[in-house]
Amino acid sequence: MIQIEIEKNIAILTLNRPPVNALNRQMVAGLQQAAQELKQKSLTSEVRSVIIQSAARHFCAGADLQERRTMPMEKIAPTVLKIQQAFSAIAAIPVPVVAAINGSAIGGGLELVLAADLRFASENAKLGLRETALGIIPGAGGTQRLTRLIGYAAALYWINSAKIFSAEEALNWRVVQGVLPTKLLADHVFNVAADFAANAPVAVRAAKRAVLQGLEQPLETALATEHEFYKTTIETHDRREALAAFFEKRKPRFRGE
């Protein structure tokens, strides 16, 4: 259901539960385990960026409603909490995470891509949070991550209209960063991930943490946070290597230390 390959320090996490990658308990557990594995590999610089993609026709249609239909009432909330926690583990991967969205990313599927740092969609992609039309609310991070991404009014419209948006509409709302022809999506996302993986791993991880922590702080505090993370890069091999490479007119050879 969840596959991980590593190519040129880029981890490719593939959802593979055709036809729509519906999120059952086994798949959610697999995502949680994959996130923990990628976190550890990121901290050693074996993994320097991550791609989330689908091997199926659709990215993810959300919760497995067949499983949910037979679930005892008292187990529903704990099950949704585990989905939220799995997506939070994806968001906590220390290096940039890029989602490649083909087909549908609906409900929990959209909440999964919201846990990524950047999102690119194929031109045929459909995105939306349908939960309020089903008598519930997004419970796996959607109300919080979407609001932080596009603002209060826009997020409220997406959530309470329960509409399905096209890829171009999602781009206009700033939910995704780009829309590509389907045949070009995978290569484009890999190139974006490669741009991140080419840079000094310690600095890339520090930059991600500085940005995320600063978002939750007043500017003055956030600037102090930035300075603290800057200091963590000063004594690294990679900073010295970058300076040497600049003066020697060659590409730096980063070691992640």
Query: Is 111 among the residues known to form the active site?
Result: yes
Query: Is 63 among the residues known to form the active site?
Result: yes
Q: 71: which residues sit within 8 A by CB, 6+ positions away?
A: 79
Q: Name the DSSP class of 134.
A: G
Catalytic residue among 22, 56, 63, 193: 63
Name the residue type at position 221.
Answer: T
Query: Is 170 among the residues known to form the active site?
Result: no
Name the residue type at position 222.
Answer: A
CA dihedral 238, 234, 93, 158 (to 10 degrees): -120
CA–centroid distance for 37 within its chain:
15
* Alpha helices, DSSP H, located in the chain: 25-43, 65-69, 73-91, 108-114, 142-150, 152-161, 167-172, 182-197, 201-215, 219-234, 237-248
Catalytic residue among 35, 121, 125, 131: 131
| Residue 198: strand, helix, or coil | coil
Strands 118-122 and 97-101, by their bridges, are parallel
CB atoms inside a 10 Å sphere around CB 172 = 12
Nearest-angstrom CA–CA distance, 178 and 162: 22
Query: Is 74 among the residues known to form the active site?
Result: no
Nearest-angstrom CA–CA distance, 90 and 194: 19
Can you state the angle between helices 219-234 and 237-248, rounded to 10 degrees? Answer: 70
Beta strands in 25-163 (DSSP E): 49-54, 97-101, 104-106, 118-122, 126-128
Catalytic residue among 30, 99, 107, 111: 111
User: Among all residues, which ones are annotated catalytic?
Assistant: 63, 108, 111, 131
